[in-house]
Every structure is written in structure tokens, then in C-alpha cells.
Amino acid sequence: MKTRRFCPKCGRPVLKSHNDKHYNNYSFQCFSCDEDFFKTEVLRKKDLVQVRLLQHTTLRYELETGTHNYSIYKPYPRHNV
């Protein structure tokens, strides 16, 4: 499910967790960082300045390291489904 919440590490939009086992503890997932985040950890629209900074840093890093293969403005695709 698409959300308007953002990863506190890379700034990409996060996806709602479908992991039932962690459902009560982890609410959002970033498949770029391969991490789960609490509802209180993810960034929201009010944090957009910070989100843009993170996205910019991520994009620059990925371009420099040649690892940029997916838009930083879309949720990273879920793997192993």
C-alpha cells in the first residue's frame, strides 16, 4: 500500500508492513534500506524539508557509487514476493 510516509534513512517513500509477525511492532518498511520502521520513526509530509535533503544525499551517493537503479521518489519494489 502506498503511503505518504518516508524512510528516515534514505528519504524514499516507505510501504506499509505486511509482515503479520511484526505487525504490532513495525508499521512501515523500506526495501531500499531493507529495514522496518516504527510509526514514530518514519517521516511525514511536515518533515518534507528533511525528506528532500535525505533524497538528495541518497541520489548523490547512489550516482557516485553506481548503485542508482530506482527512483528515490517512489517506494522501492518489494523483493521476494
| Contact map string, positions 3 to 42, toward Zn ion, x by CB under 5 A | ----x-xx-------------------x-xx---------
Sign of CA dihedral 33, 74, 72, 41: negative
Q: Are 35 and 80 in contact (CB under 8 A)?
A: no
Q: How far is the CB of 35 from Zn ion (least distance, A)?
A: 7
Q: Which is nearer to Zn ion, 17 or 32 (CB)?
A: 32
Query: 80: exposed, middle or buried (C-beta count within 10 Å: 0-12, 13-18, 19+)?
Result: exposed
Minimum distance from CB of 28 to Zn ion (Å)? 10
Q: Which residues bind Zn ion (CB under 5 A)?
A: 7, 9-10, 30, 32-33
